[in-house]
Amino acid sequence: MPTTPDRPGGGPAGPEDEFEAAEAAHHAARETVAVGRERRTEAIDPNQETRPVTVRAPAEDRAQRETVPVDAAVRAQRETVKVPGQRRPPDRAGRAGRAPLVVAAGFATVWAALLSYLPVAAVVGLARTLEGAGGLRGAASAGLAGWLLGHGVPIGTSIGPLGLSPLLLTLLVVWRLNRAGLHVTRAIGARRSGSLRAALLVAGTVGLWYALLGTLAARVVNGPGTEVSTSRAAFGFFCLGVLGALFGSLRSTESLGLVARRIPRALRHGLRTGVVAALLILAAGAVCTGLSIAIGGGQAAEMIAAYRTGVAGQAGITLLSLAYGANAVVWAAAFLLGPGFALGTGSAISLTEVTVGPLPTLPLLAGLPDGPAGAAGAALLAVPVLVGMVAGALMTRRLMRPRPARPGEPPAPARPPSWWLVLGAAALAGPTAGLVLGVLAAASGGSLGDGRLSAIGPVAWQVGLVATAVVTVSASIGAAAARAFRAPTG
C-alpha cells in the first residue's frame, strides 16, 4: 500500500494536500512572465523557493499615493521653458489659388467701368428716345461721351467744349474704383498683410488698366461731331484710377494704419482735423442748397413743366439735376465762405453781390438768391467759423483721450495734450481744409460751350485761400478753448 507524504507540521497528508501538491508540481515546470505585450516562458527550478508578489492595479496605486499640495507661489517660482510651436508647411494650395495681379486687376477694373457707365448710357438713351433720335449705337456713343465728361475729360462740340463734370457721377466712379482696389487685393492674397508695396502695386495696375479703357473710350467717341483728346483721357483716367484704387487697397491690406503711425502726431491730427472741417463745411453747403431749392419749389416745378416732355422726360431732367447736385453743394460752400461762384462770364453770386444773366431752365437753379444778402444774410459767414471751431474742439477732445494700454500694463491716466501739439495741429488743419475745398471747387466748375456759359463755378484759388484762413483761426480758437476749459475725458 503506497504511503502519502506527511505534512510539514507532522501527521499524515489528506486528499486536499495531495491535490495542492499535484497542482504545484504541474505549474512548477513553467512560469509565464509578461513583458509589455510579449510573453516569454522560463524554466523554473522545482526546488526554488517561491514568494508571493502582490501587483496593484494602476488606479488603486494612484489612489494610495501620497499627495503634496503645491502653493500658487511655488508654481510661480518654477522655471518655465517655452516650447516653440510646430512649423506649418507652406500653403501651396492657397498660393496656387491666388489670381495673377494683371488678370485680377483687369477683371475688377472692367467691371467697375461697366457699373459706372451703364447708368449714364441708360439716362442718355432715354433722353434720345424722347427726342426721337433713338438707336442703340447712338445711345451707347452719347453715353460714352457723358461717361468721359464725368471723369473730367472735356468734349469738343460744335458750340464749344463741354467741360462741366457732374460730380455725382465722379463720386460713383471713385467708389467703384475703391471697390476694385479692395477686390484685387483680396484676389492676390494680400488682404491684412500690412504691405504698403502690395497696395501701391495694386493701385498702379488698376490705374494702367483704367487708362487703357479711357484711351479706348476716347477713340470711340472721337469723331466728326465730337472731339476728345486721347492723351488727356489717358492721363485723367490713370490719375483717377490710382487714387480710387489706392484707398481701397490701403484699407484691405490694413497698411493705412502703419502709414499713419509713421507720420508725426501733430501732422496726423492736423490732416484729420482739416478733412473733418472741410466735410462739415460741405455739409453746411448741402443744407443751404436743400433749403434754397425747397423755398423755390414752385419755380422748380414750373421749370420742369415747361419742357412738356411727359413723365419720362421730367424724370430725365430730374436725374440731370441730381447729377449736378454735388456741384451745387460745392458752390454753396463757396457761397458761405465768401468768394461765391459764377454762372457765366460777367456773373457773380455771393453774399454781397448777385449778378446773373440768362440761365438754362434747370430745377437746380431755382434756389438762386434774388439779390445781395442783408445784415441777416451776412450772418451766414459765421457758419464756416463755427464749423472750424467745432472741428478744433473735437480734435482736442480726441487728444485728451488716454492711449490704450499695452497687454499686462495698467491703463495710463488721461493727461491734457501740450499746447504745442494742440496749436500746431490746429494750424495744420487750415491748409488741409483749404486744399480739399480748393480741389473740389476746381473739379466742380467748367464750361458749357464758347458762349456766355464758358465760365461756371467758383474760383478755386480764392476758395482755397479763404478756407485756409478761416479754418486756421477758428480751429485754433476751438482747440485752445477745449484745452483750457474742458476736463480730460476718460
Q: pLDDT digit string (tens) for 342-387?
A: 988 888 888 888 888 777 777 778 778 877 777 767 788 899 999 9
Other residues' Cβ atoms within 10 Å of the Cβ of residue 319: 15
Closest CA to 219 of 227, 209, 210: 227
State the Rg of the chain over Cα: 42
Grid-cell match 517660482, residue found: 77
**What are the start-end ranges of the H helices in 131-195?**
136-150, 167-187
Separation between Cα atoms, residue 154 and residue 443, nearest integer Å:
12
Confidence of residue 179 (pLDDT cuts 50, 70, 90): very high
- 49 has a pLDDT exceeding 60: no
pLDDT, average across residues 104-130? 86
What DSSP character marks residue 411?
Answer: P
What pLDDT shows up at residue 215? Answer: 95
> Using CA of residue 331, residue 334, residue 338, residue 342, what is the dihedral sign?
negative
Separation between Cα atoms, residue 471 and residue 210, nearest integer Å:
36
Provide the greatest CA pair distance for the chain: 155
What pLDDT shows up at residue 61? Answer: 54
Separation between Cα atoms, residue 137 and residue 135, nearest integer Å:
6
Pairing of strands 30-35, 38-43: antiparallel
Report the interhelical angle of 167-187 vs 419-444 (nearest 10°): 120
What pLDDT shows up at residue 37? Answer: 41
Average pLDDT value over all residues in the chain: 79
| Most confident listed range (50-54, 261-265, 306-310, 368-372) | 261-265
pLDDT, average across residues 236-253? 93
- 3-state SS, residue 76: helix
Residue bearing the bigger pLDDT, 206 or 370: 206
Distance of CA 116 to the CA centre of its chain: 19
Other residues' Cβ atoms within 10 Å of the Cβ of residue 310: 10
Closest CA to 392 of 329, 484, 327: 484
What DSSP character marks residue 51?
Answer: -
Separation between Cα atoms, residue 428 and residue 328, nearest integer Å:
28
Q: pLDDT digit string (tens) for 273-282?
A: 999 999 999 9
pLDDT, average across residues 470-482? 94
Separation between Cα atoms, residue 33 and residue 408, nearest integer Å:
58
What pLDDT shows up at residue 302? Answer: 74
What pLDDT shows up at residue 386? Answer: 95
Contact between 366 and 325 under an 8 Å Cβ cutoff? The reply is no
pLDDT, average across residues 155-160? 86
Separation between Cα atoms, residue 327 and residue 159, nearest integer Å:
22
Contact between 441 and 339 under an 8 Å Cβ cutoff? The reply is no
Burial string for 374-394 (b: 16+ CB within 10 Å, else e) reads eeeeeebbebbbebbbbbbbb
Closest CA to 367 of 411, 409, 329, 403: 329
The C-alpha cell of 271 is what?
Answer: 490732416
**What are the start-end ranges of the H helices in 134-264?**
136-150, 167-187, 196-221, 230-253, 256-262
Q: pLDDT digit string (tens) for 389-447?
A: 999 999 999 888 776 655 656 655 567 788 899 999 999 999 999 999 999 999 999 88
pLDDT, average across residues 152-165? 88
Q: pLDDT digit string (tens) for 2-42?
A: 444 444 444 455 555 554 555 555 555 444 434 444 444 44
β-bridge partners, 456: 343, 446
The vertex-88 CA angle with 82 and 89, nearest 5°, equals 150
Separation between Cα atoms, residue 360 and residue 349, nearest integer Å:
16
The Cα-based distances of 440 to 75, 105, 332, 444 in angstroms read 65, 28, 12, 6
Contact between 109 and 206 under an 8 Å Cβ cutoff? The reply is yes
Share of the chain above pLDDT 90, in %: 40
> Using CA of residue 268, residue 270, residue 272, residue 275, what is the dihedral sign?
negative
Contact between 228 and 221 under an 8 Å Cβ cutoff? The reply is yes
Phi-psi region of 468 (alpha: psi -120 to 50; beta: other; left: phi over 0): alpha
| Most confident listed range (141-150, 234-243, 408-417, 479-488) | 234-243
Confidence of residue 262 (pLDDT cuts 50, 70, 90): confident
Residue 441: its H or E element: helix 419-444
Separation between Cα atoms, residue 450 and residue 57, nearest integer Å:
105
Compute the residue count for the chain: 490
